[in-house]
Chains A and B, each alone.
Chain A
Amino acid sequence: DTAVSQTPKYLVTQMGNDKSIKCEQNLGHDTMYWYKQDSKKFLKIMFSYNNKELIINETVPNRFSPKSPDKAHLNLHINSLELGDSAVYFCASSQVGTSGYNEQFFGPGTRLTVL
């Protein structure tokens, strides 16, 4: 069983379009994340949600809007796509809880290409 899953795996779209990426985790974790891996393979946090509440919003354009309908899902919606949005987007989850900060598990990634 896949622990953290993302759809779609590949997304090719035109500049200016709006698109969404979905993420689901079946680990029962209380915290979910979106990371962006740029063309130089550098991974950087975008958003962090704990119990459906936004904790981090790093310096990400407001064209990016995360939505967490429940603790197991964290979707990423992107408006007015730009060429610079082309990257691989990774979803991750972890259990924070009272036992401290635990291992993060990552999804397989969504490769977004904006033409």
Chain B
Amino acid sequence: KQEVTQIPAALSVPEGENLVLNCSFTDSAIYNLQWFRQDPGKGLTSLLLIQSSQREQTSGRLNASLDKSSGRSTLYIAASQPGDSATYLCAVKRASNSGYALNFGKGTSLLVTP
């Protein structure tokens, strides 16, 4: 069974700081890992997708890394802004014949204060 853990559960930082969100998973046999953002009362917005053969992906101020063998991923946010405040979810796609679904962590709730 795949378990996904995100640390910390909540984080508050002042604007302008660089920050790192952590994700770990118990079964390293994954196809890919996806980071999402969820605003209160809203749906999920895909931020970055890392295939199992990749080590990192970048989009703007976001950089996600993947170490499959150790079951870890990090999401790095540079120069944080109040608009980055949201819940960040990590999800992995299992390599078993489980129909392509994602296993989610419980998220990190981020607050960036002006």
- In the complex, residue of chain B having the shortest beta-carbon distance to the beta carbon of A41: B107
Which residues from chain A contact B93 at a C-beta distance below 8 Å?
A: 101
Residue tally, chain B, CB below 8 Å to A? 24
How many residue pairs link A and B with beta carbons under 8 A? The number is 59
For the complex, is B76 an interface residue (Cβ under 8 Å from A)?
A: no
Which residues from chain B contact A35 at a C-beta distance below 8 Å?
A: 102
A41–B31 touching, CB < 8 Å:
no
For the complex, is A109 an interface residue (Cβ under 8 Å from B)?
A: yes
CA distance A109 to B40 in the complex (A): 12
The SS class assigned to the B binding surface is strand
Contact with A103, one of B46, B89, B107 (Cβ below 8 angstroms): B46
Mark each residue of chain B from 26 to 44: 1 if its CB lies under 8 Å from any CB of chain A, else 0. Answer: 0000011010100000111
Q: Using a CB-CB cutoff of 8 Å, which residues 88-115 of chain A contact chain B?
A: 90, 92, 94, 96, 100-109
Q: Mark A residues whose CB is within 8 Å of B.
A: 31, 33, 35, 40-45, 48, 50, 55-56, 90, 92, 94, 96, 100-109
CA distance A90 to B45 in the complex (A): 12
CA distance A35 to B43 in the complex (A): 11
B34–A103 touching, CB < 8 Å:
yes
A101–B101 touching, CB < 8 Å:
no
Which residues from chain B contact A48 at a C-beta distance below 8 Å?
A: 99-101
- In the complex, residue of chain B having the shortest beta-carbon distance to the beta carbon of A44: B104
Which residues from chain B contact A101 at a C-beta distance below 8 Å?
A: 31-32, 93, 100
CB A99 to nearest CB in B, in angstroms, measures 10
Mark each residue of chain B from 91 to 114: 1 if its CB lies under 8 Å from any CB of chain A, else 0. Answer: 101000011111110110000000
